[in-house]
Structure 1
């Protein structure tokens, strides 16, 4: 289970201001902090970047790459920004991501086809909504798998994200049990080993306070690990959450356990 830092996102005021001002220091500080905390990869969430998308994504990726050598996950809905980020990655990157939404298939899938980047596949309906249950997620997986295969993208490059739902949704509990079922079932459903990713922070969107957010994320993280999730997108600057992730990895590693 690989821990991917979700801390470098443009929704944070300090990151947003740094991008607008092309100020590298906050970007580099965040990247270094995430690596020091134990992140094994970094998600660079630039959002849609409607103004100067290529220049801003180049700025973000270049400054992260200048101070850490972690694998990068490029998280943007803007294809121009994605192309610019891929161009300066200096190594394999992951495109985050694609779904059955027609615009993403038309604009993001060609970028994946042109590069050797891995590709996150969101299990959403074509209208962008989250499926109601595990069956809906699996149907989306089968359709996406076929479209990617037709485009020449092999199963080894795909990372399926079944969409962790906020618990505050009316059916949040049921949705997240469906996430676990989907993760466990996908290899048999698709007839080949495939990787999965889960965005842990989504679980506690709207939580009343930090203590509640931590408690529920710490409860769900072992469930994701036990289901076989390969990548956990999470807040790596929370030391308690990171300790839980490390313990989960040690238990599920499949190797001989040692307290050392």
Structure 2
């Protein structure tokens, strides 16, 4: 399991202020903290960046790269910002992400081929809605796989995300059990060793407090690991979750176990 820290988000007031002022300090401290906690990569979640998009995304990428030497996941819905961020990366990045939505296919998908970037593929319908069950997600996976193949994207560059559902959704429990089935089925469905991703923090959207968030994420994380999830987008700064990651890695490893 590769752990991608989801802590560097523009929705955090301190990070938002730092981006607005082009102040590298808070951003670099966050990046260093995630690396020291054991993150394997860092998600730069800049949001839509409607103003000065190229300048701000370039600043974010260069600022993080100056502090840590970890792979970057560029997380924005703005194609202009995405292109600027990819151009600023010193090593191949991961694009977060593409789906069957026509605008994403038209403006985000080509960037993966141009920059040799890995690509997170969200299993959404063309209207941007989450399919209601495992069958719908697998239909989206096949359709999106075909779109990527037609665009010349190597299948080894793809990371499929079936969308972790918040538990507060009316059918959140059922949706997340469907996600586990999809993750298990994808290699047989597509015919190769598919990489998959789960956004663990999505599970507890709207949770009443931090303890509740960690309790439910701690319960679901081993389920995702056992299903074969290869990339976990999660809070890397919570020691309990990171200890759980290390234990899961030891259990699912093909190496001989030793205390």
Indicate the TM-score class for this superposition, using the shorter chain for normalisation: over 0.9
Is 2:14 the partner of 1:11? Answer: no
Report the CA distance between 1:191 and its aligned residue: 1.0
2:79, 2:228 → 1: CA distance?
31
Structure 2 contact 92–115 (Cα < 8 Å) conserved: no
Residue aligning to 1:220: 220
Root-mean-square deviation (CA, aligned residues, Å) is: 0.5
TM-score when normalising by structure 1:
0.99
Residue aligning to 1:231: 231
For structure 2, the 5+ residue unaligned runs are none
Residue aligning to 1:80: 80
Residue aligning to 2:139: 139
1:19, 1:31 → 2: CA distance?
14
1:45, 1:214 → 2: CA distance?
21
Report the CA distance between 1:192 and its aligned residue: 1.2
1:104, 1:172 → 2: CA distance?
26
Residue aligning to 1:129: 129
1:78, 1:84 → 2: CA distance?
10
1:88, 1:253 → 2: CA distance?
35
Q: Deviations over 1:92-120 (max 9, x none)?
A: 10000000000101100111121210000
For structure 1, the 5+ residue unaligned runs are none
TM-score when normalising by structure 2:
0.99
Report the CA distance between 1:53 and its aligned residue: 0.4
1:40, 1:87 → 2: CA distance?
21
Question: Equivalences for 1:230-249 in 2 at 5 Å?
Answer: 230-249=230-249
Residue aligning to 2:41: 41
Task: Report how many residues are paired.
Answer: 259
Residue aligning to 2:107: 107
Report the CA distance between 1:131 and its aligned residue: 0.5
1:85, 1:115 → 2: CA distance?
11
Q: What secondary structure sits across from 2:211 in the alignment?
A: helix
Q: What secondary structure sits across from 1:9 in the alignment?
A: coil
Report the CA distance between 1:24 and its aligned residue: 0.5
Which runs of 4 or more aligned residues in structure 1 lie more than 6 Å from their structure 2 counterparts after TM superposition?
Answer: none
1:114, 1:3 → 2: CA distance?
26
1:196, 1:83 → 2: CA distance?
24
Report the CA distance between 1:253 and its aligned residue: 1.2
1:258, 1:202 → 2: CA distance?
34
Q: Deviations over 1:228-251 (max 9, x none)?
A: 000000001100010001100111
1:92, 1:255 → 2: CA distance?
29
Residue aligning to 2:71: 71
Residue aligning to 1:251: 251
Residue aligning to 1:192: 192
